[in-house]
């Protein structure tokens, strides 16, 4: 919650010295004082007694900037650990399938092998091998990977939706276990890339936790997963202008900058052309604010499992049983944004293009061809 010991003391009436001693293991807790703190912070008392599954700190992957504060990273780790506990409880109790992801334990991995693992992941998630992914979040959820928004609150109770230089966090211990990807909501294209990046960590680093360039590998995986190599070679060229890249962004739901990097990665543009395009991006002030809006996705799986277990108004009974503050439960398992009831995500089956908010509008190029998206910018 971002509260100091002094603030918890002021809210609850429990001495900050007692709080410090219990936190550091210098004295045993007292049930009555814990009840005071629980009531003051609107936290179920069971929170202090539940035994969560351990999420090893050295196995937890973050997508964040180098400028991210260490204190915020510690908070993110604590929030993610509780989110993982809740997700694991819901997925296990409701018998939702766990992800059948490919993985590697090789000491070293080549770019070609990353491309191959990205292709295998599309197969595992029952995605078309060479087409845009209309809804990355729903594809992950159908494949058994829980997705949860991460929202930090400041000391005054306000939100920090940016995550304070953090973008995503993930953990998966392997086949048969729960996987959870947490993300800090931003623009639609960045969220999609963050989810694909964290998916890369699950595939590439669950059994290789100490590789030298984990972030670079996850970035390459994300690009290959979102824009498969064969289509990238077909659709990208050295003659494309920034306007052409904007059209491609509307089709693939991937930022212009990421598409330029993808073109370079598959050998369709050289370093000179890449630098030129980035100079043009800067000149147009597109480095921070690109044209073409990609729709934001919203998760559905955890809400569906929560509703299935606790009814149409699940937050209060669910929070009590799961031993988590209701506000935290609302943030990691938000209810659907619209009043229209959406069908629950399924572990198997074809991918829908419209459930929960379509990211890219797919239009016909010609009569009888419904598979190919148009090249018009939305």
Angle formed by the axes of helices 16-23 and 5-12, nearest 10° = 130
Higher pLDDT, 102 or 377: 102
Residue 277 · residue 259 · CB < 8 Å = no
Residue 251 scores a pLDDT above 90: yes
pLDDT bucket at 314, cuts 50 / 70 / 90: very high
Q: How many CA atoms are closer than 13 Å to the CA of 184, on its beta-carbon side?
A: 23
Given a cut of 60, whether residue 140 has pLDDT beyond it is yes
Mean pLDDT of 151-170: 64
Res. 111: pLDDT tops 70 = yes
Burial of 142 (0-12, 13-18, 19+ CB in 10 A): buried
pLDDT at 348: 40
User: Is it the case that residue 351 has pLDDT exceeding 70?
Assistant: no
pLDDT of residue 161: 45
In which band, very low, low, confident or very high, does the pLDDT at 367 lie, cut at 50, 70 and 90? very low
CA pair distance 246, 240, nearest whole angstrom:
10
261 phi and psi angles, rounded to 5 deg: -65, -35
Average pLDDT of the chain to the nearest whole number: 85
**What local confidence, expressed as pLDDT, does residue 163 receive?**
53
- In the predicted model, is pLDDT for residue 193 greater than 90? yes
- What sign does the CA torsion over 368, 348, 138, 311 have? positive
Helix axes 315-322, 70-93, angle to 10 degrees: 100
Q: Give the pLDDT band of residue 341 (cuts 50, 70, 90).
A: very low
- The whole-number pLDDT of residue 280 equals 96
Q: What is the pLDDT of residue 209?
A: 82
Q: Which residues pair with 366 in a beta bridge?
A: 369
Residue percentage of the chain with pLDDT more than 70? 81
- Under a CB-based contact definition with an 8 Å cutoff, are residues 164 and 68 in contact? yes
- pTM value is 0.84
pLDDT tens per residue, range 282-303: 999 999 899 999 999 999 999 9
On the question of pLDDT at 128 being above 50, the answer is: yes
Q: Sorting pLDDT into bands at 50, 70 and 90, what band is 240?
A: very high
């Amino acid at each position: 919650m971002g509260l100091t010991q002094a603030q918890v003391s002021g809210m609850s009436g429990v001495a900050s010295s007692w709080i410090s001693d219990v936190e550091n293991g210098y004295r045993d807790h007292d049930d009555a004082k814990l009840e005071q703190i629980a009531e003051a912070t609107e936290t179920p008392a069971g929170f202090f007694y539940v035994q969560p599954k351990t999420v090893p700190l050295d196995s937890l992957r973050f997508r964040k900037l180098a400028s991210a504060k260490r204190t915020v990273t510690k908070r993110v780790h604590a929030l993610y650990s509780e989110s993982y506990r809740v997700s694991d409880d819901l997925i296990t109790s409701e018998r939702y399938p766990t992800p059948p992801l490919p993985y590697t334990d090789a000491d070293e991995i080549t770019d070609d092998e990353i491309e191959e693992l990205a292709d295998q992941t599309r197969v595992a998630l029952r995605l078309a091998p060479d087409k845009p992914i209309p809804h990355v979040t729903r594809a992950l959820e159908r494949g058994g990977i829980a997705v949860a928004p991460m929202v930090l609150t400041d000391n005054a109770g306000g939100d920090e939706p940016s995550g304070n230089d953090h973008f995503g966090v993930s953990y998966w211990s392997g086949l048969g276990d729960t996987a959870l990807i947490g993300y800090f909501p931003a623009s639609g294209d960045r969220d999609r890339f963050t989810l694909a990046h964290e998916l890369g960590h699950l595939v590439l680093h669950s059994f290789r936790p100490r590789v030298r360039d984990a972030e670079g590998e996850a970035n390459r995986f994300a690009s290959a997963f979102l824009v498969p190599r064969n289509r990238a070679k077909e659709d990208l060229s050295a003659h494309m202008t920034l306007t052409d890249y904007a059209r491609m962004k509307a089709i693939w739901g991937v930022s212009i900058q990421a598409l330029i990097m993808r073109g370079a990665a598959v050998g369709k543009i050289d370093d000179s052309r890449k630098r030129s395009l980035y100079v043009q991006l800067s000149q147009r002030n597109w480095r921070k604010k690109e044209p073409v809006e990609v729709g934001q996705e919203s998760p559905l799986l955890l809400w569906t499992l929560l509703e299935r277990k606790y009814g149409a108004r699940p937050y209060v009974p669910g929070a009590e049983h799961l031993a988590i503050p209701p506000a935290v439960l609302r943030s990691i398992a938000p209810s659907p944004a619209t009043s229209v009831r959406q069908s629950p995500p399924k572990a198997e089956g074809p991918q829908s293009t419209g459930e929960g908010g379509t990211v890219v509008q797919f239009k016909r190029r010609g009569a009888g061809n419904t598979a190919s998206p148009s090249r018009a910018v939305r």
